[in-house]
Amino acid sequence: MSSRRILTKFGVIDAIQNGKAEKAAILWVPGFLGTMNGVKAEALQKWNHDEFKQTLWRFNYSGIGKSTGHLKRSKSTFKNWLSDAGAVLEQAAAESGGPVDVIGSSMGGLISLHLATRNPELVRSLYLCAPAVHFLKDRIALVRQSPGDDIPIPPDYLHGSGLVSASFFFIWKFFRRAFTFVL
C-alpha cells in the first residue's frame, strides 16, 4: 500500500494506491462525505485483493481526512470534489498506462458519470452503485428551513467522515453546483 498526496486545483488530497498490476487500475469514487477508508472502500479493497488483483486507488475529497480544504469554512464544493476525482483518475491512468475502471457510490456515482463524460479516453468502464443523479433533491427545503449556519447532516450521509453538521453556505452552494452538473 502506497500513501499518496495528489495536487489538485483546490489543494492537496490524500490518496492510497494498493498493489501494482498489469491490468487496468480501479478508482474508487466515494459518496457524499465518504472516505477512502469507509466500509464500501474496505470491502472493495478485499474483493480486489481476492478476485480482481488490479491496482486500486482510493482518496479523500478536499476537506475530508488529511486532504486539505476547509469543509467547515465553506470552501469545498461539488466542483472541488469533481476536480479531486479527476486528478486521481489522471494519476491512476498515467501510472497504469491506460484507461481506468471507475467505481462510484451515491454521489461518487454522479461524479463518476461526469469523469467519464469529460475524460472518455481515461475511463475503461463504469460501475455505479446507486448513482445520486438527483443528489439531495428532496432535502433542499430542509436546508432552507435550518436556523443558523450549521445544517445537521443526516446520519445516512455521514459515511464515516466524523462530521455531524456542515455550514449552510457549504450545503446550499453544493446543492446548486451539483444540480447544474446533472447530465
CATH number for position 23: 3.40.50.1820
User: Could you tell me the pTM of the whole model?
Assistant: 0.74
User: Per-residue pLDDT for the chain (183 aa), expressed as one digit of tens each?
Assistant: 788 888 888 778 888 888 876 788 999 999 877 888 888 888 988 988 888 889 999 998 887 777 776 555 545 567 788 899 999 999 999 999 999 999 999 889 888 988 999 999 999 999 998 887 665 566 656 656 655 555 555 555 545 555 555 555 555 555 555 545 443
Q: What are all long-range contacts of 106-109, with beta carbons under 8 Å and residues at least 24 apart?
A: 106/31, 106/32, 106/34, 106/130, 106/131, 106/132, 106/135, 107/31, 107/32, 107/34, 107/81, 107/132, 107/135, 107/178, 108/28, 108/29, 108/30, 108/31, 108/34, 109/29, 109/31, 109/133
Partners of 54 in beta bridges: none
Cell of 23: 491490468
Q: What is the DSSP letter of 138?
A: G
What pLDDT is attached to residue 174?
Answer: 55
Tell me how many domains the chain contains.
1
Determine the structural domain holding residue 70 and report its residue range.
2-181
Identify the CA nearest to 89 among candidates 117, 60, 112: 112
